[in-house]
Chain A
Amino acid sequence: MTAASIKEKQSLIGTSVPRIGVDGKLNGKALFSNDVAPKNSLWVKALRSELAHAKIESIDIKDALNTPGCVAILTAQDIPGNNSFGIINKDQPLLAGSKVRFVGDPVALAVAISEDVAELALSKIHVTYTELASIFDPEESLAPGSPFIHEKGNLLGKRLIKKGAPELAFEKADVIIERTYQTTCLEHAYLEPDAGYAYFDSDGKIVIYASTQNPHYDQADVASLLGLEADRVRIIQTNTGGGFGSKLDLNTQGFLGLACYLLKKPVRMVFSREEAFLCTSKRHPLKIKYKSAASKDGRLLAIDVKIMGDTGAYASYGLAVVSRSAIHATGPYEVPNVSIESVFAYTNNPIAGAMRGFGVPQVAFAHESQMDLLAEALGVSPLEIRRRNALRLGSTTATKQELTASVGIQTCIEAIAPHYEAIRNKTNSKDSKKLKGVGLGCMMYGIGNTGTQNPSTAQVELQSNGGIVLYSGAADIGQGSSTVLIQIVATELGVGAEKITLVNADTGLTTSAGATSASRQTYISGNAALDAARKLKEAILTEAATMLKANRKKLYMKNGNVLDSSGVDSSVSFEQIANKAKREGRPLKWQGFFDPDTTPLDPETGQGKPYATFAFAAQIAEVEVDILTAEVTVKKIIAAHDVGKAINPESVKGQIYGGAAMGLGFALMEEFIPGKTVSLKDYHIPTFSDMPPVECLIIEEPEPTGPFGAKGVGEPALIPTAPAILNAIADALGSRIYSLPANLERVMKAIHSGASKMKFRLNQ
């Protein structure tokens, strides 16, 4: 057997290893953020503003402090460090000092012996406000004369992308389609409301257990709020019940850190679902003006896109959404002439931050609707127009990045093509009250942060008993990154997954892996873990070569042993190697590092290399629209995703199913209306009965820089679904919806307009 075939046989890559920690989740023993605090912890509760924009004149806490059982009332004055945090822009106070900027802005904390007492104490805090004019629309916010929400003004950021000569191309075009699309504010609705627990450990460090996607960032921001060195704060991620972007922000961590630091007592905080709805970040509502030009042979010539985003009261991850929505506005198509402008403004709406896809789901709704409109105008099929324009090897994106490998969009389109044709051939009878439709949605998604360094680190250690420990800062929030990292390291070292102990997402024990966002953990932290494993492997093989007096090149690893493939029957175990290296003082813990190869975007033209690699996908949605009730039923979703390499296929499928469900919610039902949407009673996410069968087609166009060829799938899974559903509704009705969600009212309008175009009969 050759060394290569042995390696192949032992590989865990492409096998659906069960998720690490799944047992505890099945038997109820897994501890989540609301399960860790001991009974003697004090309760922390926040008083939140009921006004959208107001100056704080005074806060009277006397009565509140007199509440029996109330230990402390904390306000902005009590914050010892820098009272402003945020991942990109530090513009958000932990507790509002001079003014509040949205309904839900925290102004004071009560710390008390029970949750009820804390609530009672909060009710006795008297805040005197002077109300200020509020702004709820981003365009208004940027209009001259608008009151400032932040001192620097109301502009969050702007991104311009220019390529070629779009004006000229529009003049020469055979067809031009121009439409405006509007998406709405969405709630992440992760199933576990935020909670946490903090205490002082025996070394005088503040230890915070939290439901988080971003432990190392939490650590830095909490330390800065408290005016401490980062190493005085330790963040430990508990099991996290979903995040989808919102748990990238400091939700409870800052409050817990402050109360624990000032009172020197263990404290806990638990958001009710209502509080989580009120104060955590949302998806940015975007207004997208989209103009496309094509030639009569169905080739895209130019696009001109203007995106206006509402980032709400504070920036959170908004700036990342400004750029990402602009860069992805072409969709997975080659467009020679491009003009894109993305502008986001502050308003007094809830904070909009990161939500699965960072603006790409919104722009995908627009670019995919445009593709269908162009197809219709040109008399070609929606499939054909995508085929003709989809990116391929050698194509350049809007930022003039040349794609040199792993461009799987054509393969995705070809994979769904036969399914699409088959469904399309089923036709509606003229008298049917339930109209069938089929739609396509395609997407590309840049893996990792945009045009900026976003490294990950990891360590892999061989222990004296021959066991392997992997240290990674990466927070697994349910998507399965921990299992993938283990599979990568186990495969590289030729051991079973059970031989790897993972220590992760604890700032006391691990170094930063960056955030669990931008679908980056498999690609970036996977590479960091692989780098560490390779270094350890080198060290092990070097030791083994001396011990076996063998040719190092002929050695291979299997089940915790190093063996000689040259026919000599000799081997040495990891344990023996570890002991020898230890005795002789050679290191057994190796550090891995990976930072994707990107360049920043030019501020004027937007040119640059924002991402090292892209994921691609094409999905089909088959729908049925009841023209009497306006009810839309999604009958089937077929999803082809180019993930580079599916390290754990069952997990990849899990991401696709979950993404499709979220996309279905985005398309048909989800809408967060500030001031009106309070709880899960009035925010509907898809249930069992809304979910159609989903067929996954996993496409593997290996990424040369990815760990074993892998890219990422977390966000891509969601992006094509809503566009495919909206295109399917348009196909069924012959009339299109331009604002999401496609709720009953909007569908009803579309039915009437479809009927008036004689696409079908509404009345007998």
Chain B
Amino acid sequence: MNLEIDFCLNGSEIRLSIKPWETALDVLRNQSGLTGVKEGCGIGECGACTIIIDGKAVNSCLILAAQLDGRKVETVEGLEVDGKMHFIQQAFLDKGAVQCGFCTPGMLMSAKALLDKVENPSTDKIVEAMTGNLCRCAGYVQILEAVREATCMKAPLNKDDVTNS
């Protein structure tokens, strides 16, 4: 038995035919070809599979694909706009926050969900928001610096938004 689901994936409306037991992670990787969504554990422990659903960072290995129906879904593949890096990606690049890069998509999505919601998060807030994302290579220091830097990059950007509107 297959189910049809409709949702908004990285800004485009899509329809997928899925099995009721498939996870969001499986469907995004195998059907939508979004292999930037990584599987590090499959049980909600590592955060490599983090995506954003309706503004909230979630582990896509823990939710069913059926639960995506009618939602707004963002993955790492949607961060660049017209080939231009999102400012959080830029901050990761600037701070040398990427080593093997397997944790990076999940880290970026957790950071984005936080910065979309909170204007100027404190270090504690950042740590709290990101603590479900494991990294075995980088020791978190440069990742934390990158998110902090992204916070600063965001502030002026927001002002622009205000003037433009």
Contact = CB atoms under 8 A, between A and B. Distances in A.
A628 interface: no
Nearest to A478: B100
Contacts of B80: 27
Contacts of A465: none
A364 B47 CA distance: 32
Contacts of A26: 76, 79, 85, 89, 92-93, 98, 101, 104, 108
Nearest to A649: B96
Place the interface of chain B in its size category. 35 or more
A28 B76 contact: yes
A547 interface: no
Interface string A460-498: 000000000000000001111000000000000000000
Contact of B77 (A28, A240, A273, A651): A28
Interface string A26-43: 111111101100000000
A657 B96 CA distance: 12
A76 interface: no
Nearest to A695: B141
Interface in B27-53: 34-43, 45-46, 48
User: How many interface residues does chain A have, given as a range?
Assistant: 35 or more
A227 B41 CA distance: 35
B75 interface: yes
Contacts of B131: 687-689
B35 A191 contact: no
The secondary structure that dominates the A interface is loop
Contacts of A689: 127-128, 131
B113 to A, nearest CB: 15
B139 A192 contact: no
A654 B101 contact: no
Contact of B139 (A189, A273, A658, A679): A658
State the main secondary structure of chain B at its contact with A: loop
Interface in B51-89: 75-77, 79-80, 85, 89
Contacts, number: 172
A241 B46 CA distance: 13
A423 interface: no
A242 interface: yes
A440 B101 CA distance: 32
Contacts of B40: 191-193, 241, 273, 680
A694 B141 contact: yes
A658 B100 CA distance: 11
Q: Which of A28, A477, A659, A686 has the largest number of chain B CB atoms within 10 A?
A: A28
Contacts of B45: 679-681
Nearest to A476: B100
B127 A688 contact: yes
A689 B126 CA distance: 10
A241 B137 CA distance: 9
A28 B35 contact: yes
A650 interface: yes
B136 A28 contact: no
B136 A657 contact: no
Contact of B133 (A480, A679, A688): A688
Given A27-B76, A244-B136, A688-B133, A192 B141 contact: no
Contacts of B139: 654, 656-662, 686, 691, 694
Contact of A32 (B96, B102, B134, B137): B102
Interface in B128-158: 128, 130-144
B103 interface: yes
Interface in A654-679: 654, 656-662, 679
6 nearest interchain CB pairs? A28-B36, A478-B100, A25-B101, A241-B102, A657-B139, A661-B139
17 contacts: A19-B98, A22-B93, A25-B98, A26-B104, A27-B79, A27-B89, A28-B35, A28-B75, A477-B100, A650-B142, A654-B96, A657-B138, A657-B142, A658-B138, A681-B45, A688-B143, A691-B139
Interface of B: 34-43, 45-46, 48, 75-77, 79-80, 85, 89, 92-93, 96, 98-105, 108, 127-128, 130-144
Given A242-B102, A272-B42, A688-B140, 19 more contacts: A18-B93, A19-B98, A26-B92, A26-B93, A27-B89, A28-B34, A28-B35, A191-B135, A193-B40, A239-B100, A242-B136, A273-B43, A477-B100, A653-B141, A658-B135, A662-B139, A679-B45, A691-B140, A691-B144
Interface of A: 16, 18-19, 21-22, 24-32, 34-35, 188-193, 239-242, 244, 272-273, 477-480, 650-651, 653-654, 656-662, 679-681, 685-689, 691, 693-694
